[in-house]
Amino acid sequence: MASKFVAASSLAVALAPALAQSDLSLLPEGSKELTLGATLGSSPSRYGSAARSTYLLPQFSVEWSNGIFVEGLVLGMHMSDAPLLRYGPLLALDFGTQLADGSTGKFRPVAGGFINYVPVQELSLHAHVFTPLGDAGRVRLNARAGTQATLAPRHQLFAGVGANLLGGGAMQADFGTANYRPSGGVRDVYADLRWQWQFSAKYTLISAVQASRLLGDAAASPRTSERTGVTTSVTLRYGY
């Protein structure tokens, strides 16, 4: 179960910065951009747990000139030609959350969408939402505001703050017990920091840290032993 959680949580951590980058350029017609890599990370074994897990996961992303892209286990499409306003649909996979009785939920596809808006050069606003097909009560929404700075040639720093909101079904699956039924709402707020170093034309090294704080019914759950969680990772990417 821990491997399923860290795969899903690392995907969630990576997804917002990946979709929210403000320096994405429109590709020439008929071209594609392909990136391969690996991420070594450490995160709580599940939300609210004091135990930690270390993981090594492959990374894969590709974007075609028609706007279709794949980011790990997420398939999406850019519906806008404007580089400062990107939005579109998403399709991903849900590994199945550990339920209150110790069982694991179904492995199933989830659908959603994303929007990324850059009102000024120093600010990017991002949101993405997912819900299992046929189960709107388990909707999950991530909202993030971020900024970036060029520290030196080939060195960039990205920082952001955000929040995760869950529907009642998703909150119950993650934090509910037989005698505790949490309501939907804000699960946590977080801050993240990412340093990116393109040390050659093909290779990029990325170091990231995210700290989150559970709130409301998630924090009050009997399943929560640690309200503050920290996820760290190092990623090496090779771009074609």
What integer pLDDT is reported at residue 196 of this predicted model? 95
CA gap 130, 75 in Å, rounded: 12
What integer pLDDT is reported at residue 100 of this predicted model? 47
* Eight-class DSSP state of 4: H
Q: What is the pLDDT of residues 170-185, one digit of tens each?
A: 999 899 998 999 999 9
CA gap 28, 30 in Å, rounded: 6
What integer pLDDT is reported at residue 189 of this predicted model? 97
- Nearest 5°: phi and psi at 134? 85, 10
What integer pLDDT is reported at residue 141 of this predicted model? 94
Token pair, residue 110, equals: 């989830």
SS3 217: helix
Spatial CB neighbours of 220, under 8 Å, sequence gap ≥ 6:
182
What integer pLDDT is reported at residue 35 of this predicted model? 92
Averages of pLDDT over runs of 10 residues in the chain (240 residues) are: 42 46 53 88 91 91 88 88 90 64 64 93 92 81 94 93 94 92 95 95 94 96 95 92
Q: Which pTM value belongs to this model?
A: 0.84
Q: DSSP strand E in 4-103: where? A: 32-44, 52-64, 68-71, 74-77, 85-94
Helix, strand, coil distribution of the chain in percent, nearest 5? 15, 55, 30
- Is residue 187 within 8 A of residue 171, CB to CB? The reply is yes
